[in-house]
Amino acid sequence: MNSNRYVHPRPGLVGRLLGAIANSRLLLGARRRLMSVLPFLKLQSDVRDVVYLTWLVKADAVKHLVPPGVTLWQRDGLTPFTILTYAHGHFGPAGIGALRSVFPSPLQSNWRLYLEPLPQNRPGQRVVLFIKNIMSSTLYAIGTRLFSDALPTHLPLRFSHARHGDLQVTHIAGGQGSAPDLRCTLESTATKELPGAFKTMFASWDNAIDFLCLQDAAVAAVDGLDRLAFAEIDLPIETQTVRPLVLVADSLACPFVEALGVSPPPLCFAVDKVPFKVISERLL
């Protein structure tokens, strides 16, 4: 089973205190009881520099990451694994207009698998399984831990994600904490071509992009509970605006991905900007 217990990237008294707060079952239980009688606070962000890296991995290699109660989407024994990294634009409560501009704009990286539709939800709802979530802000990392079950966030020691001309460079250094490491450089290309085994999994480039981008909801296993957190999201990506990218040779360093035995090369692309909303969250 995938564990998302929080470990601070820097050792010491402050790190131990933040870890105790983030992992406190007492605080999480109190929040769940309170939120069960209050309406969900919808969240909104003007997301930019969205980068997808997707590999095909053997379903058996990731079955330990999949909790009971959900079914992994797969074809011929293979399933997509995606690292999605982006910059927020004032991530805060929806519906407050210009006041949202006072909220920070952290970087975020979300690592996910893809699921078959959940039987208890509306037919055809497209769902991903959150495996790891990393944010560059201590406030948001601890805040999402305390106020959300669907987004158990890790804080890295360093996190950069920037576009330099035709290059997109991402670096996540976990330090001594629970955030996974990632380093990669991607380059713009004019070619919209599916790599390798993607050609047998998807009918076309557009078909693959639609599948990977157009998701309605996410689930995450809740540490300490035999339950799943379910969040409805709105990420209306205009797939015709997607820009193809290629991974620069020898630029990838990610022990987590390497341990899965992924099939290179990955399918990579970018979305310049998209509005993002978290609509609801509940325990299943």
Domain ranges of the chain: 13-283
CATH number of 13-283: 2.40.400
Residue 5 and residue 223 in contact, taking contact as beta carbons nearer than 8 Å: yes
Tell me the C-alpha distance between 208 and 217, whole Å: 18
Q: Residue 1: what pLDDT?
A: 57
From the list 194, 206, 185, 200, the residue with the least C-alpha distance to 267 is: 194
Q: Residue 124: what pLDDT?
A: 60
* Residue 63 phi, psi dihedral angles, 5° rounding: -65, -25
pLDDT tens-place values along the chain, 284 residues long: 567 888 999 989 999 999 999 888 888 888 888 877 778 888 999 999 999 999 999 999 999 999 988 999 999 999 999 999 999 999 988 988 889 999 999 999 999 999 988 866 665 678 999 999 999 999 999 999 888 888 889 999 999 999 999 999 999 999 999 999 999 999 999 989 999 889 999 999 999 999 999 988 999 988 777 788 899 988 889 888 999 999 999 999 999 999 999 878 999 999 999 999 998 888 88
* Residue 53 phi, psi dihedral angles, 5° rounding: -125, 120
Residue 210 and residue 78 in contact, taking contact as beta carbons nearer than 8 Å: no
Amino acid identity, position 50: V
Amino acid identity, position 48: R
Q: Which residue's structure tokens are 């805060």?
A: 92
Residue 51 and residue 186 in contact, taking contact as beta carbons nearer than 8 Å: yes
Q: Residue 123: what pLDDT?
A: 58
Q: What is the length of the chain?
A: 284
Strand-pair partners of 84: 52, 110
Structure tokens at 85: 């990294």
| Cis, bond preceding 255 (omega within 30 deg of 0) | no
User: Helix or strand or coil: residue 175?
Assistant: coil
